[in-house]
Structure 1
């Protein structure tokens, strides 16, 4: 994963997934693209799935907390994918293979999100922390301390509200 920030905002990103031989990339204002093997790049767009119970949720293959499971149960998404890399999970949302990614980890490293952040945005999706606040990339910290939520942009506010309700009273 390689991401470029300008004035603290992601403007360029590339995520390569060697196991699938696919690269996802985006540039601010130029859209998002994926390229499988040596084929021609294709434009990427998030899915159009609006109903949360019809969405595909992508979560960590190895770092799943009790809270993550509670949130998955609350959302009642139709499918759950378990994938390794944060960048890969976010790219799946950007490419419409998943609709939603949630990480309740209290410290998600900025280098795990920077490249995919612009890819999600350019593909039409949204990415925030668990409170719905924009992710920050500043010299003050190297981690997003309030988790990460990425969606296809449809029902992002409702998802944030349901995550907050489920997480109420638990450290996030």
Structure 2
């Protein structure tokens, strides 16, 4: 049986306290020298990632023992995706930003129910920004002792969109896409969750990520948050992200927007990517 609105709200409130505590753990490492290891040539990991991961997995598995957990630093296989409900955990989204000490990293926890993200939290501990969202239930940012409702912009003119892109994962084709969309205003920012939060706050209108290297834990909480604020997140071709597939990777990238002209933007991106492959 699907979670009711009341159950989603209760879970969000419970999760907020858990994630804030994970944030304190991360900040305790942020205040001292960081030793960096590399999982791959492009994926760093720190003791802060592992400590946050361990804490979150322990808390969630104890509270919801019958539900699956897919966590970045303890991922082993995809068996858990068969569960009706699966928690997806990114203990630090933006590890490179954590290492560079620019504050643009977040802790992200989302819940997938029957293959779709239904609630999510994105927390930026360096600035104590708490984003919470569940479509039809709640969509807020709690920051500086003020709780503010989230709602995406109503901007419909693509060439007037404000674009936010990755700080650490820029690819040459992204500039071609921006040019083909006719967008002049753009900036870089760390963390998928924080970029989605900026769209949910109407500060930006569009984000796309052309690499096929992002994972399900990178998009679950941000998607739930963005959809709660009226936005849309799909792959680059406008197709739903697959949370019950045979891979943890979002192989066709990420496209997040205020929902206005989303399909048209996906079409332009698709044509641009096709043209880039022919060159």
TM over 0.5: yes
Map 1:129-140; keep pairs closer than 5 Å. Answer: 129-138=235-244, 140=246
1:109 counterpart residue number: 215
Q: 1:120 Cα deviation (Å)?
A: 0.9
1:161 counterpart residue number: 267
Q: TM-score, normalised by structure 1?
A: 0.93
2:191 counterpart residue number: 85
**Selected match of 1:95 from 201, 222, 233:** 201
How many residue pairs get aligned? The number is 170
> Partners of 1:138 and 1:5 in 2: how far apart?
10
> Partners of 2:169 and 2:245 in 1: how far apart?
26
> Partners of 1:143 and 1:31 in 2: how far apart?
28
1:76 counterpart residue number: 182
RMSD: 1.4
Q: TM-score, normalised by structure 2?
A: 0.58
**Selected match of 1:3 from 110, 119, 122:** 110
The residue matched to 1:93 in structure 2 has which SS? helix
As a proportion of its length, which structure holds more helix?
A: 2
Asked whether 1:12 is paired with 2:12, we answer no
Q: 1:76 Cα deviation (Å)?
A: 2.3
Asked whether 1:34 is paired with 2:141, we answer yes
> Partners of 1:117 and 1:63 in 2: how far apart?
19
> Partners of 2:270 and 2:139 in 1: how far apart?
30
Q: 1:139 Cα deviation (Å)?
A: 5.2
> Partners of 2:207 and 2:127 in 1: how far apart?
19
Q: Answer 1 or 2: higher relative contact order, Cα 8 Å, separation at least 6.
A: 1
The residue matched to 1:67 in structure 2 has which SS? helix
> Partners of 2:217 and 2:168 in 1: how far apart?
19
> Partners of 1:110 and 1:21 in 2: how far apart?
24
Structure 2 unaligned residues grouped into runs of 5+? 1-107
The residue matched to 1:144 in structure 2 has which SS? coil
2:130 counterpart residue number: 23
List structure 1 runs of 4+ shifted beyond 4 angstroms. none
Structure 1 unaligned residues grouped into runs of 5+? none
